[in-house]
Amino acid sequence: MKKTPQHTENATIDKLDGSRYQGSYQAIVDAIPDMIIRLDRNGIFRSFEGAVAELYWPADTYLGKALQTVLPADIADLFQSKLEATLASGKVQSLEYTLLFDGEPRHYESRMVHSTADEVIMIVRNVTRKKRTDESLRQYHNQLKLEMQARMDDLSLAESKYQRIFHHSGSPSIIVERDVVISMANPKFEDLTGYHREEIEGQMKWTDFIDPSDRDMVETYHHARREKEDNAPSEYECKIIDRKGRAKDIFIKVGMLPDRGRSIASLIDITSLKQTERELRDRDTLYSAILEGYDGLIYTIDKGYRIRFMNENLIKRMESDATGQVCYQAIHQRTSKCTWCAAEKVFEGQRVRFEIKNPHDHRWYYSVNVPVQLSDDSVYCQAMITDINKRKEMEEALRDSEAHLREENIRLRGTLDDHHKFGDIVGKSAAMQEVFELMLMAASAETNMIIYGESGTGKELVARAIHDISTRQDGPFIPVNCGAIPENLLESEFFGHKKGAFTSADRDKKGFLCEADGGSLFLDEIGEIRPELQVKLLRAIEGGGYTPVGSNETLASGFRIIAATNRNLHDLIKKGEMRSDFFYRIHVIPIHLPPLRDRKEDIPLLVAHFLKAYDSKMRPPVTASVIETLTNYDWPGNVRELQNVMYRFVTLKRLDLVGDPAIPLEASAMSVDRTSTSLPEAVAVFEKRHISAALAEHRWNRTRTAKSLQIGLRTLQRKMNIYKIR
């Protein structure tokens, strides 16, 4: 009784290195037209994979057994000799053999490939159908040969008789004259080529139909055959081109007629057969590429949870072949089914995907589980597992980063004082609230930024405030007025110089880029930098480093640029005074500071802010008329002008606005009670007020304050201690 063919699949996994082909399982299955057999050095069957439906007996009949115990002696000896040759030479060995099952021969072709020092892989293909097709084709050729011979005999007796047979032949046929012209063509040849007999007979040469790549061969055969029939093959293959320009693969049988050097050729269209052969070769190539290039882990189990297939990567990962074993025992070292197992759903036809953290190596994996329907309607569960630990780590890092950004946002917003103050910058207007929001964004980012605004709007104050609450707050803040540096010193100031680099270079000097390392470089009036220097700055910004004047050494500096300008940089780009690549490198986060005339509701806040810098005893009263006067003024000098007006207001006791007459305050606000105050006391009060006002005007820079008061720095420090000015 004939045995029902058994189907055995393969299996694997649980731990898996990263796969570059997620979801490629179906492609692998489709690409395997062969059966893959592993044999060890002693001829013991180790595993069966791929088209195992070709096995006559179940795989368990062969597994673990030697060739000689399960195969006929002559076949076993052939296998053993090829096995030894493969292991000895490392070269691929090919073999063909035939096995009898229930009296029916099955033909096989095999390639034996060296795998490891003690193991080979056999790629086996059942060619029974091909053999039978070849035999049928041979019989057909023989029959055709007999028919052609009969035809030629008849033609030699009577032209009319063989013409009748020729035209009624079941295959495309032509008669070719010595000069290669076709003298006769039957209807089947018309169907094959798309040309009519009237166009062909006596008009076209046989070689006119031949593909250019085969034309020389066909013409050589034609002439050689007429010298001696045995000089050319009677059967061969070539390509012809039909009327629509389509190439067709043709098998040709040619024989010589007994008169006038004519030949008769019968053709068989084997285009579909050739296409099938090409597809098989392509599938072989695809299969080989997938097999060699796939680095993931795959396993297949049956409904008994027994592993039917493990790919090589999984075997190497486990350091053993667990085919035939129970998956949860072999792979997961468990005594019962895994709690996360999706096999039951897969056996019902579902596709299941999930992520899991392996309890053994604590790495994350992505598992794709799909059903495999076999020809006997049995279903296996195919699992493909991908290592996604890196992706999970990135997701975790992203979540941590988001949490950090939320905390940073809360911290930065905490720097806003009642939403009306940001460091030394005050304002409750909508325009300033928008500026504060942009400052928060800029402080939390590491990108370059640029501040636009008229002179006196506080661009440096904004830059310093952003630096002070950014992650670079512990680094230096280096302010540079680009318009105040002589052009011939720009490169030296930015990049530094070595001693002797030029006449006045009597020592090494660090440049702004070096001083700003780890901090912020504030470039005020950036539009004053010439394009030649912009190129070198751009290289340093992009991490290419910089070279001090007079040096060959390339240095690196990690700094952030905060630029500022009151000019239209787009106009400078159009004029060629600024490079577009340099502009876009600094124009990442733009902040536009509004002029004071556009936010007059902030004037009372600014007045109160500036007056806090002075001793309460020397502050004149700020009346409604004072605020009204300040609000009605257009402030061409912006906030800086208001600060100076407040300085004069405190020291001179009057409002002194450009273009307006000075508005004196009431005498009671200016005078000092002479009856109760001595001259030294009055002088001390005035001196304290004057020093406090100067300090406020120069933003408490003691060096500049001392210079403006025309006294020494030590004298200023001593008087500040005497008057307890802090």
Could you tell me how far CA 110 lies from the centroid of its own chain? 41
What is the structure's pLDDT at 666?
44
Q: Is residue 396 part of a domain?
A: no
Is beta strand 235-241 parallel, antiparallel or unpaired with respect to 425-426? unpaired
Q: Which residue has the tokens 């003298």?
A: 183
What is the structure's pLDDT at 157?
58
Type and span of the H or E element at 597: none
What is the structure's pLDDT at 292?
53
Range of the domain at 191: 133-274
Given a contact cutoff of 8 angstroms between Cβ atoms, the answer to whether 312 and 12 are in contact is no
Residues 376, 515: one domain?
A: no
Given a contact cutoff of 8 angstroms between Cβ atoms, the answer to whether 256 and 224 are in contact is no
What is the structure's pLDDT at 23?
46
The CATH number assigned to the domain holding 439 equals 3.40.50.300
Average pLDDT score over residue span 256-280: 85
Which of the listed residues 559, 594, 629 is the one where a domain comes to its end? 594
What is the structure's pLDDT at 699?
64
Q: Which residues fall within 8 angstroms of residue 594, CB to CB, at 6 or more apart?
A: 429, 431, 432, 435, 453, 457
* Lateral strand order in the sheet of 477-481: 477-481, 520-524, 560-565, 449-452, 589-592
Residue 17 has pLDDT above 80, yes or no: no
* Number of domains forming the structure of the chain: 4
What does the DSSP 8-state code read for residue 203? T
442-466 per-position pLDDT tens digit: 887 788 999 999 988 999 999 998 8
Residues 66, 139: one domain?
A: no
Average pLDDT score over residue span 142-149: 82
Average pLDDT score over residue span 368-390: 86
**Which residues on neighbouring strands pair with residue 38, listed in sequence order?**
47, 121
672-694 per-position pLDDT tens digit: 445 555 777 777 777 877 887 77
Which of the listed residues 274, 295, 321 is the one where a domain comes to its end? 274
What is the structure's pLDDT at 176?
92
Please report the sign of the dihedral spanned by the C-alpha atoms of residue 307, residue 313, residue 314, residue 316. positive
Long-range Cβ contact pairs of 530-537 (< 8 A, separation 24 or more): 530/487, 530/490, 530/577, 531/576, 531/577, 531/578, 531/579, 531/582, 533/490, 533/491, 533/494, 534/578, 534/579, 534/582, 535/579, 535/582, 536/491, 536/494, 536/495, 537/494, 537/582
242 against 699, higher pLDDT: 242
- d(C-alpha 158, C-alpha 237), whole Å: 31
Is beta strand 589-592 parallel, antiparallel or unpaired with respect to 449-452? parallel
For residue 448, the SS3 value is: coil
Residues 699, 613: one domain?
A: yes
**Token pair recorded at residue 608:** 């109160």
109-141 per-position pLDDT tens digit: 999 999 888 899 988 888 888 888 888 888 888
Residue 362 has pLDDT above 90, yes or no: no
Average pLDDT score over residue span 642-668: 71
Average pLDDT score over residue span 69-89: 91
**Which residues on neighbouring strands pair with residue 238, listed in sequence order?**
250
What is the structure's pLDDT at 155?
52
Average pLDDT score over residue span 305-310: 89
Residues 568, 673: one domain?
A: no
C-alpha separations of 193 from 17, 208, 272 in Å: 56, 11, 16
Residue 476 has pLDDT above 90, yes or no: yes
Residue 544 exposed, middle or buried by CB count within 10 Å (0-12, 13-18, 19+): exposed
Residues 325, 259: one domain?
A: no
Mean pLDDT across the chain: 82
Q: Which residues fall within 8 angstroms of residue 184, CB to CB, at 6 or more apart?
A: 163, 166, 174, 175, 201
Q: Is residue 18 part of a domain?
A: no
Residues 90, 104: one domain?
A: yes
Which one, of 649, 656, 662, lies nearest residue 620 by Cα?
649
* Lateral strand order in the sheet of 425-426: 416-417, 421-422, 425-426
Type and span of the H or E element at 444: helix 430-444
Given a contact cutoff of 8 angstroms between Cβ atoms, the answer to whether 239 and 247 are in contact is yes
What is the structure's pLDDT at 151?
66
- Per-state percent for the chain, helix, strand, coil, to nearest 5: 45, 20, 35
Residue 561 exposed, middle or buried by CB count within 10 Å (0-12, 13-18, 19+): buried
516-540 per-position pLDDT tens digit: 999 999 999 999 899 999 999 988 8
Given a contact cutoff of 8 angstroms between Cβ atoms, the answer to whether 540 and 546 are in contact is yes
Could you tell me how far CA 619 lies from the centroid of its own chain? 65
**Phi, psi torsion values for 634, nearest 5 degrees:** -85, -15
255: left (phi over 0), alpha (psi -120 to 50) or beta: beta
What is the structure's pLDDT at 403?
59
23-63 per-position pLDDT tens digit: 454 455 456 678 888 999 999 999 888 778 778 788 888 89
Q: Is residue 160 part of a domain?
A: yes
Please report the sign of the dihedral spanned by the C-alpha atoms of residue 537, residue 542, residue 543, residue 544. negative
481-509 per-position pLDDT tens digit: 988 888 888 888 899 988 887 888 788 88
What is the structure's pLDDT at 500?
82
**Which residues on neighbouring strands pair with residue 235, listed in sequence order?**
253
Residues 581, 432: one domain?
A: yes
Q: Is residue 392 part of a domain?
A: no
**Which residues on neighbouring strands pair with residue 479, listed in sequence order?**
522
Q: Is residue 695 part of a domain?
A: yes
Percent of the chain with pLDDT over 70: 86
Given a contact cutoff of 8 angstroms between Cβ atoms, the answer to whether 133 and 270 are in contact is no
Q: Which residue has the tokens 């115990």?
A: 69
Written as one letter, the residue type at 570 is: H
- d(C-alpha 265, C-alpha 418), whole Å: 102
197: left (phi over 0), alpha (psi -120 to 50) or beta: alpha
What is the structure's pLDDT at 239?
94
Average pLDDT score over residue span 218-239: 91
Residues 451, 542: one domain?
A: yes
Residue 480 exposed, middle or buried by CB count within 10 Å (0-12, 13-18, 19+): buried
Residues 649, 712: one domain?
A: yes
Q: Is residue 7 part of a domain?
A: no
Could you tell me how far CA 374 lies from the centroid of its own chain? 38
Q: How many CB atoms are closer than 10 A to CB 714?
A: 9
590-609 per-position pLDDT tens digit: 999 999 999 988 888 888 88
Angle at which helix 702-709 crosses helix 713-722, to 10 degrees, equals 100
User: Looking at 353-357, 573-577, 690-694, which range is the least confident one?
Assistant: 690-694
Residues 442, 589: one domain?
A: yes
Which of the listed residues 594, 611, 631 is the one where a domain comes to its end? 594
What is the structure's pLDDT at 289?
64
Q: Is residue 312 part of a domain?
A: yes
Q: Is residue 403 part of a domain?
A: no
Which one, of 117, 93, 116, 119, lies nearest residue 40 by Cα?
119
Average pLDDT score over residue span 605-624: 83
Residues 95, 150: one domain?
A: no
What is the structure's pLDDT at 356?
83
Half-sphere exposure at residue 164, Cβ-oriented, CA atoms within 13 angstroms: 6
171-227 per-position pLDDT tens digit: 899 999 999 999 889 898 999 999 998 999 999 999 999 999 999 999 999 999 988
272-289 burial, b at 16+ Cβ within 10 Å, e below that, comes to eebeeeeeeeeebeebee
What does the DSSP 8-state code read for residue 254? E
Given a contact cutoff of 8 angstroms between Cβ atoms, the answer to whether 505 and 488 are in contact is no
For residue 381, the SS3 value is: strand
179-200 burial, b at 16+ Cβ within 10 Å, e below that, comes to ebbbebbbebbbebbebebeeb
DSSP-assigned states of every residue in 131-174: HHHHHHHHHHHHHHHHHHHHHHHHHHH-HHHHHHHHHT-SS-EE
Instruction: Name the pLDDT band for 165 (thresholds 50, 70, 90).
Output: low
Which one, of 717, 719, 714, lies nearest residue 689 by Cα?
719
What is the structure's pLDDT at 490?
85
The CATH number assigned to the domain holding 139 equals 3.30.450.20
**Token pair recorded at residue 512:** 């702004």
Residue 77 has pLDDT above 50, yes or no: yes
Residue 512 has pLDDT above 70, yes or no: yes
Residues 80, 165: one domain?
A: no
H, E, C per residue of 541-570: HCCCCECCECCCCCECCCCEEEEEECCCHH
Angle at CA 252, nearest 5°, toward 246 and 255?
Answer: 145
What is the structure's pLDDT at 247?
92
